[in-house]
Amino acid sequence: MDGFTPWPPDLEARYTAEGYWGDRVLGDVLRGAPERPALVAGDERLTYADLDLRAARTAAGFLRLGLGRGDRVVVQLPNTAGFVVAFLALVRIGAVPVLALPAHRASEIGYLCELSEARGYVCGDTDGDFDYREMARGLPVEHVVVDGEAQEFTALSAVDADPVEAERPDPSDVGVFLLSGGTTGLPKLIPRTHRDYVYNLEASAEVCGFTEETVYLVVLPAAHNFALACPGVLGVFATGGTVVLAPSGSPDDAFPLIERERATVCAVVPPIALLWLDAASWSGEDLSSLELLQVGGAKFAAERAAEVPGDLGCRVQQVFGMAEGLLNYTRLDDSRDLVEHTQGRPLSPADEIRVVDEDGEPVAPGEVGELLTRGPYTLRGYYRAPEHNARSFTPDGFYRTGDLVRVLPTGHLVVEGRAKDQINRGGDKISAEELEGHLLAHPAVHDAAVVGVPDAMMGERTCAFLVVREKEPTLRELKDFLRARGVAAYKYPDRVETVETFPRTPVGKVSKKALAARLS
């Protein structure tokens, strides 16, 4: 695929010879026994045989629409059976899902369709008063498939035909595109090959002790890397367990499902973990089936991690991952101290880690620096982004994560901060440059600088500093403006401050440190 950066031949040979990469493709992940429960979604309960048949019929339906190997299809679905079926069906025929989040709007979806030259878009019908079909009318795609009331489009239930043999994708093909958290003006796509993503999910399932008995509750968007493949939905399918879909992470949604389905594992971001710790003391539900709570996406405080076993009656696992690849997990047999105070260690023996200073030189052992990494499931380049790639990777192919870490003698990493221009709002990533670009389009805004403000619940919230031309826009007006531009709501600023001028660094760049300091 053009625009995809492959691994160099020596590493490809090594990862294959050492068994990290095999012949398996994403379409093969349904490995549970046919009669075992695979998926619980709302009132629907599907066995592995049911899900396999649904995926096969939908795959044949996509083929009949004219989609096939290498075709990109933007998928934007909430945690529904439709998401699981559409994903499995597309990867079976070698079509490549581009996984958007349900929160994305016309600005993000339109760009993803363009960048990926998508031939199709799969969405739900509505979410509250937002209508995905209305947005779909403006998209440059041939096929719109709607899981729900389809209006003039094709219903997902009608993408259905008798199963046929499809051309099998090559394990080295791009199997799925994930979205990067982003540090630039426009979102970036992360190509994940079948073999690297299969390794990602299988190795994760092993480290997390997933078995046929695992009942995994999905509360994060299933389209996010964490909930999809770390080990996530796909890791459960590969080990024969059961996936239970929840509409959200709120205790009102999640706790009754844990009780009813006897869920054993769940992956959450820190704000959800905090809600759960709080709610466990007064909620009436029986959470005793829970064995493991995976927490990641943003830093989880050691003090809170220490409360999980007592308050929720299960173990906690810290996960420091990224859609770009590298995953760090605390291990099930790690000491309490490591589990509470670190963000885990790399999943794979073949993960290579470097911690460097501002000049790119390795720091002394145990010192804080920027984390660079390469390995058998870490990308070698964003899709169709040569200029950005020149900055985001070292000449020898290490990905610059933008995360500041230190490494303990055990190999565990502690995340100490961030060197990238991004806000981590409770696990949701916001590119400062992207939001600044939107704000600059407002007629009253002369200049904009977006910074993260520490927040007890969310870790960080978003503050937009503005230099205005005339009357300063209120927060309400700015949000309405961003909504009208089709920007996802999680990117809206939480707070706006006007200033006369921005403080500058000695080289003349806006000093976000100095701006952030004004707030504390």
The Cα-based distances of 114 to 61, 72, 140, 189, 489 in angstroms read: 24, 11, 7, 12, 21
Q: What minimum distance in Å lies between the beta carbon of 318 and ligand J2J?
A: 6
Q: What minimum distance in Å lies between the beta carbon of 275 and ligand J2J?
A: 17
Nearest residue to ligand J2J, by Cβ distance, number only: 321
Alpha helices in 441-504 (DSSP H): 475-484
User: Which of 214/225 has CB closer to ligand J2J?
Assistant: 225
Q: What minimum distance in Å lies between the beta carbon of 87 and ligand J2J?
A: 16
Taking each helix axis from N to C end, the angle separating 81-92 and 48-65, rounded to the nearest 10 degrees, works out to: 60
Q: Quick one: how far is CA 303 from the chain centroid? A: 25
Q: How far apart are CA 309 and CA 277, in angstroms?
A: 10
User: Which of 57/461 has CB closer to ligand J2J?
Assistant: 461
Q: Quick one: how far is CA 188 from the chain centroid? A: 13
User: Which of 418/442 has CB closer to ligand J2J?
Assistant: 418
Q: How far apart are CA 202 and CA 515, in angstroms?
A: 44
The Cα-based distances of 215 to 237, 255, 282, 357, 432 in angstroms read: 11, 14, 24, 43, 38
Under the phi-then-psi rule, with left for phi > 0, alpha for psi from -120 to 50, and beta for the rest, what region is 232?
Answer: left
User: Which of 156/265 has CB closer to ligand J2J?
Assistant: 265
Q: How many CA atoms lie within 13 A of 354 on its CB side?
A: 17
Backbone φ and ψ for 387, nearest 5 degrees, come out as -70, -45
Which candidate, 197, 195, 190, 270, places its Cα nearest to that of 228?
A: 197
Q: What minimum distance in Å lies between the beta carbon of 518 and ligand J2J?
A: 24
Q: What minimum distance in Å lies between the beta carbon of 376 and ligand J2J?
A: 15
Q: What minimum distance in Å lies between the beta carbon of 325 and ligand J2J?
A: 9
Do 86 and 75 meet the contact criterion of CB atoms below 8 Å apart? Answer: yes
User: Which of 181/493 has CB closer to ligand J2J?
Assistant: 181
User: Which of 40/268 has CB closer to ligand J2J?
Assistant: 268
Residue 87 one-letter amino acid: F
Q: What minimum distance in Å lies between the beta carbon of 298 and ligand J2J?
A: 5
The Cα-based distances of 343 to 297, 363, 417, 499 in angstroms read: 10, 19, 12, 37
Number of Cβ within a 10 Å radius of residue 229? 28
Q: What minimum distance in Å lies between the beta carbon of 360 and ligand J2J?
A: 18
User: Which of 343/431 has CB closer to ligand J2J?
Assistant: 343
Written in H, E and C, the secondary structure of 383-395 is: CCCHHHHHHHECC
Q: What minimum distance in Å lies between the beta carbon of 246 and ligand J2J?
A: 18
Number of Cβ within a 10 Å radius of residue 442? 18
Binding site for ligand J2J (CB under 6 A): 181, 225-226, 230, 296-299, 318-323, 327, 343, 401, 403, 415, 418, 424, 427, 429
Q: What minimum distance in Å lies between the beta carbon of 209 and ligand J2J?
A: 17
User: Which of 402/486 has CB closer to ligand J2J?
Assistant: 402
Q: Report angle CA 24, 26, 31 to the nearest 5 degrees.
A: 75
Q: What minimum distance in Å lies between the beta carbon of 123 and ligand J2J?
A: 21
User: Which of 393/481 has CB closer to ligand J2J?
Assistant: 393
Residue 234 contacts by C-beta under 8 Å, 6 or more apart in sequence?
26, 29, 197, 201, 228
Q: What minimum distance in Å lies between the beta carbon of 176 and ligand J2J?
A: 13
User: Which of 371/445 has CB closer to ligand J2J?
Assistant: 371
Q: How far apart are CA 216 and CA 240, in angstroms?
A: 11
User: Which of 79/225 has CB closer to ligand J2J?
Assistant: 225
The Cα-based distances of 291 to 338, 358, 458 in angstroms read: 18, 41, 25
User: Which of 159/217 has CB closer to ligand J2J?
Assistant: 217
Do strands 130-131 and 174-179 pair parallel, antiparallel, or not at all (unpaired)?
A: unpaired
3-state secondary structure of 279: helix
Q: What minimum distance in Å lies between the beta carbon of 187 and ligand J2J?
A: 12
Strand-pair partners of 215: 242
User: Which of 58/76 has CB closer to ligand J2J?
Assistant: 76
